[in-house]
Amino acid sequence: MSRFTCVRLGLVAGCMLSLAMTANAQPKKDDEGSKQLNDMYVTLKADLYEVDDAFFQKLAKAKWQSKADLAKLEESALPGKEEKADEETPIALIRKQKLLVEGKGVSINEGDMASLLSSVKEITRLPSPEQLKRGKSDAQSFNEGVSLRAKAEISSDRRYVCAKLVEKSLEVEGSDKVNVVVDKKGTEAAGEIVFVKEQATSQARNVPDGGTILVPLQYRPRDAREKDRWLVARVTVEIHIKAEDRLLNQGK
């Protein structure tokens, strides 16, 4: 199958790895000031959505899929059924959910790690007891929220990308305010002991060239928990070969 063959696959609702293949993806230029891209590289883009519980649970229960599974799905796609199938896929349905962060395309060489998206807010607290004892009075600062990074490996037939996705999150769960003696005279200063929960998880997913996957995130902000909602990343992947990109541009 050609890299630029248009394939659109309809999967049953709840399939975590939903595909939305696109034809003749527009080649992207190397970002100025970024690392030099090789003759073959990968562009990834991630958008962050807040979704309802039912939508999230269907994704979370979906089966992991190998390249062989994806190939069978491509073969089983029936001509004339694309439009109906597309409307029923999680990829299509997520557009009805709440978009929180619209990411930008990031181009990287195979094997490199890149930051795809970040949704954080700064939380400040009083100085810690350790700071005060050292004579430091600067406030403590924490970036509460979630970030997603990715590394890409291209298959030998150049049809698939194995994307390793690393999710990191931080949440300030609470704090205790304390008075700290800061000198030999018994002078006290107000400080704060902050309790932070940090998590890091990673997972690998096969993605067809030009395809899209939905990734349920482990991190759940307080306001999302209160509304019984979750976070999901929509990740798209494209393989670029500079020689082919030049031919496409010449044909315009």
Q: What would the pLDDT profile of 162-201 be if each residue is shown by its tens digit?
A: 999 999 999 999 999 999 999 999 999 999 999 999 999 9
Structural domain contains residue 30 = no
Structural domain contains residue 29 = no
Structural domain contains residue 178 = yes
Distance separating alpha carbons of residues 28 and 67, to the nearest angstrom: 26
The type of residue at 234 is R
Task: Work out the pLDDT band at 19, boundaries 50, 70, 90.
Answer: very low
More confident residue, 33 or 90: 90
Q: Domain range spanning residue 120?
A: 40-250
Give the neighbor-by-neighbor strand order of the sheet with 188-208: 113-125, 140-154, 160-181, 188-208
Q: What would the pLDDT profile of 141-170 be if each residue is shown by its tens digit?
A: 999 999 999 999 999 999 999 999 999 999
Cβ atoms of residues 223 and 23 within 8 Å? no
Q: What would the pLDDT profile of 67-79 be if each residue is shown by its tens digit?
A: 898 888 877 765 5
Number of domains in the chain: 1
What share of the chain in percent tops pLDDT 70?
81
Structural domain contains residue 167 = yes
Cα dihedral across residues 196, 204, 8, 70: positive or negative: negative
The pLDDT of residue 247 is 77
Structural domain contains residue 112 = yes
What's the length of the chain?
252
